[in-house]
Amino acid sequence: MEDDVATSADDPQGQPRHIGIFLFDMVEEIDAIGPCEVFAWWTHAYPDDGWEATTFSADGRPVRGDNTLVVHPHHSMETVPALDVLVHPGGDGHIAMLEDEAHLGWLREQRSRVPLMTSVCTGSVVFAAAGLLRGRPATGHRKHLDQMKSIDPTIEVRPGARFVDDGDVITTSGLSAGIDMALHVVSRLVSPARARDVRRHQLRAERAAWLSPGP
């Protein structure tokens, strides 16, 4: 399926386009923070690309992650700008979502509005419960692939894939694979060269962290 997400140059109003990372209690931190770091650095370093990254939770209040990190989102579902890309992380909080009809209905509504829907780790299971993966190839956390298939037998599960790009829906395997997915999205939205530049920045930051003297 071809990329249907237009770049800012195609926006006749010249308004920035928005990437939103959804946060919730018991989110797996790296699922959200990994992609957020990629998108935040890119959009700040290259504002002329015409994209902005933000975070939001259901009510705009801080959330507590699986590993106790407390994150303060920028927005609530009500105040977040209209999104062009949605990132739905995983984490133990996904379990309650599987029977939360309000959340699943919200996801279906977003699917009708948001050009590119992405999930990380067990976020793919929530997508499956919402019916977003019907008849599609998809991946997720390796320990939850059978669960995805049991929720929706029409899903073409792809074990071992870091991410699966099916055009308007991208699913991602566990944890750090969300960073790979985010770089892939940058490549789609702008260019492979831009994604490589973002990755080089990450590598420089990692190298500096390892080489910095201890206390």
Of the candidate CATH numbers 3.40.50.2300, 3.30.465.10, 3.40.50.880, 2.40.50.100, the domain formed by 15-206 belongs to 3.40.50.880
Angle between helix axes 177-189 and 192-211 (nearest 10 degrees) is 140
pLDDT digits (tens, 9 = 90+) for 14-59: 789 999 999 999 999 999 999 999 999 999 999 999 999 999 999 9
pLDDT-derived band at 126 (thresholds 50, 70, 90) equals very high
Average pLDDT over residues 139-163: 97
Query: In this structure, what token pair is assigned to residue 60?
Result: 């705009």
In this structure, the strands spanning 163-165 and 137-138 are unpaired
Which residues are tagged catalytic?
121
- Are 55 and 122 in contact by the 8 Å Cβ rule? The answer is no
pLDDT of 1 > 50? The answer is: no
The domain segmentation of the chain, as residue ranges, is 15-206
pLDDT of residue 2: 43
Q: Angle 177-180-185 (CA atoms, 0-180°, nearest 5)?
A: 125
Which amino acid is it at 121? Answer: C
What residues contact residue 63 under an 8 Å CB cut-off, 6+ apart?
23, 24, 25, 27, 57, 70, 71, 73
Return the percentage of the chain with pLDDT > 90, whole number. Answer: 85
